[in-house]
Amino acid sequence: MDTTTKMKTSLVKGFCLGFLLLSGLPLAAQPGASALVRVAVATEQELAPVTLVPGTVVSRSDARLSAEVEGRLTRVAEVGTRIKAGEALAEIQDQSLQLLQQELRAEIVRAEARLQFLEAELERFSSLAKSNLASANQYEQTRADRDVARGDLSVAQARLAQNQDQLSKTRVVAPFDGVVVERMMTPGERATEGSMILRLVDQQHLEVIARAPLEYYDYTNIGQLLEIRAGQKISLATVRTVVAVGDENTHLFELRLDLNGTPFPAGQTVRVAIPTSDSRDVLTVPRDALVLRPEGESIFIVDGNNQAQQVRVTTGIGSGADIEVTGAVSPGDRVIIRGNERLQPGQSVTIMDS
């Protein structure tokens, strides 16, 4: 072979190799190529078939706070303000109550002074009566006046305490941590007792309210973990309450579930996976192990030679990130969950650390 022919042959081989690399053909087509993958283990779980019913995410604490005293509003928290329990959300002008507070304190001082005087007089008349220098009528009258003064002091102290209570109510405080989501009144408006001022919602402690057909009541229990779905997002919630009495018109029962964390905002419409029969033992793999191709669903299992073997499967019950599969799969098999998109049957693999 002359020099020109050898150069042409080398160019053709180089072009072919570059074409294979750039075209993204599976690495299995190249002898000795190994794919980097991550694996999980097929396991047996106890699952039950489910049906999806509508539900709504609500806050465990959602309060509309109102005024307890009459007066002009001087401050109302803005919508979106985050408030801690005990902090003021709104304030009502308290000038008249402060003036009354001063008046009642003065009344108490006067009542205390009169009581002290009468107690001293009673003691003096008691000593004189023993020497027959004071009449019994004077002694009895002074004692009666002393008792009246005690009553007057108690009344003044009670009125002061009542006014102090009214003063404390000029500050509308948060009963729990939350966010102001609505203002019914603004500063400058005059509030009367019972006027709705704002709405406070706790966005950290959420629950789901759902209603399901009565025929599935026996399969839902307190403490059970159920799937909650909204679009592509899936979370888990714990059944806190199951209302035993169904609605005679709709034949539905109500259940309430505590959300783990805050995966959804308050007001979100969700779907709750309700069990429709008793649970059974099934073989499950992570959903990420499923490979969807025109010929159907399959998974890749890593054999003893670290080669990927494709196995056709049929899916069944799902639970969170796992799903039931039937096919030539056994508990403990290593199934590929990352890097399985472009694998070819028999391709060698290198397993990444989990």
Q: Backbone phi, then psi, for 115, in 5-degree steps?
A: -65, -40
Q: Residue 126 corresponds to which tokens in the numbers above? A: 């008691």
Q: Which residues of the chain register pLDDT less than 70?
A: 1-32, 128-136, 246-247, 354
Same domain, 216 and 257: yes
Same domain, 138 and 252: no
Tell me the per-residue pLDDT of 10-66, one tens digit each, with 9 for 90 and over. Answer: 444 444 444 444 444 444 444 457 889 999 999 998 888 888 999 999 999 999 999
Last residue of some domain: 110, 144, 169? 169
Q: In the chain, what percentage of residues exceed pLDDT 70?
A: 87
Q: What is the pLDDT of residue 26?
A: 43
Label residue 219 exposed, middle or buried (CB < 10 Å: 0-12, 13-18, 19+).
middle
Is 103 a domain residue? yes
Is 290 a domain residue? yes
**Looking at residue 177, which CATH number applies to its domain?**
2.40.50.100
Please count the other Cβ atoms lying within 10 Å of the Cβ belonging to residue 326.
11
Quickly list DSSP for 127-156. Answer: HHHHTT-S-HHHHHHHHHHHHHHHHHHHHH
Same domain, 328 and 209: no
Q: What is the pLDDT of residue 129?
A: 60
Is 287 a domain residue? yes
Q: What is the pLDDT of residue 139?
A: 72
Helix (H) or strand (E) holding 173: strand 171-173
Query: How many domains does the chain divide into?
Result: 4
Same domain, 252 and 266: yes
pTM value is 0.62
Please count the other Cβ atoms lying within 10 Å of the Cβ belonging to residue 179.
18
Residue identified by tokens 């002359």 is: 2
Please count the other Cβ atoms lying within 10 Å of the Cβ belonging to residue 324.
19
Q: What is the pLDDT of residue 16?
A: 45
Same domain, 82 and 174: yes
Give the whole-angstrom CA distance, residue 48 versus residue 42: 18
Same domain, 66 and 199: yes
Quickly list DSSP for 178-231. Answer: EEEEEES--TTPEE-TT-EEEEEE-SSSEEEEEEEEGGGGGG--TT-EEEEEET
Distance (Å) of CA 102 to CA 96, 114, 164, 283 = 10, 19, 11, 78
**b (16+ CB within 10 A) / e for 162-175:** ebeebbebbebebe
Report the candidate in 59, 50, 37 with the shortest Cα–Cα distance to residue 300.
Answer: 37
> Pairing state of beta strands 43-47 and 280-286?
antiparallel
**By the 8 A CB rule, do 27 and 346 touch?**
no
Same domain, 85 and 177: yes
Q: Which residue range is the domain that position 235 belongs to?
A: 50-60+205-275
Q: What is the pLDDT of residue 338?
A: 92
Please count the other Cβ atoms lying within 10 Å of the Cβ belonging to residue 73.
21
Amino acid at 343: L
Is 4 a domain residue? no
Same domain, 287 and 303: yes
Please count the other Cβ atoms lying within 10 Å of the Cβ belonging to residue 218.
10
**Looking at residue 249, which CATH number applies to its domain?**
2.40.30.170
